[in-house]
Structure 1
């Protein structure tokens, strides 16, 4: 029997919604007003360019979700996609790291994984964190959940501090 591939949307912080709505809303309104005005061609070209930039940046964040596929965690943030094989994951722990990442909240999980001989990490923010952690733990061999909310592979060849 084939295993279900659950999808976890990103948690979205309210302050981020406010910032996005204000900046995109005001930017779109200004662009549309300039495009509709009787102003010169230069203003219209500038407004059209600004509108394209707004739409391009929006295409980098919507949708933001995490799929637990058969053999890997699939991360999507707009047109950007990541694939983290389960057998490469060595640790998952909570963080509030503000680095740019496919996460729309600062209530994040840091997923440490191996990529060849290198150590990498990605920050995500699943809306239902506990469900995500429990489901991930069932898919990654050797990954165990401790009382601090960390998932760790004890057989991993990586520092765990």
Structure 2
């Protein structure tokens, strides 16, 4: 009976660990984490700031970027390897993004 819960949970954790990533394609930021996929329109991004927020997220590191988009209640936490390059790439699409340090 324990295996009924343990095996699916282990699978989800393994997928999240090995399949977490971020892509900027045209006007979208695409976030992958295991079987989950989130598309954020880059023109909807209002602000980005560096954070150490420990909430569950699409990030494998505690050194993260907090992205606020669409409304003030929509937030994504990610941890790209090169944060500065990532920020520059996203700002090329939407220069109105507010950067908080």
Q: TM-score normalised to the size of structure 1?
A: 0.55
Q: How many residues align?
A: 101
**1:55 pairs with 2:11:** yes
**Unaligned runs of at least 5 residues, structure 1:** 1-44, 152-161
**Unaligned runs of at least 5 residues, structure 2:** none
- 1:43-99 per-position Cα deviation (integer Å, ceiling 9, x unaligned): xx6457633431233223431111011011100001101111011100000000000
Return the alpha-carbon distance in structure 1 between the equivalents of residues 98 and 74 of structure 2. 20
Check the 8 A contact 1:59/1:78 in 2, yes or no: yes
Q: 2:24 matched to which residue of 1? A: 68
Cα RMSD after superposing both structures = 2.2
Q: TM-score normalised to the size of structure 2?
A: 0.85
| SS of 2:61 mapped into structure 1 | coil
Which structure's CA Rg is the greater one?
A: 1
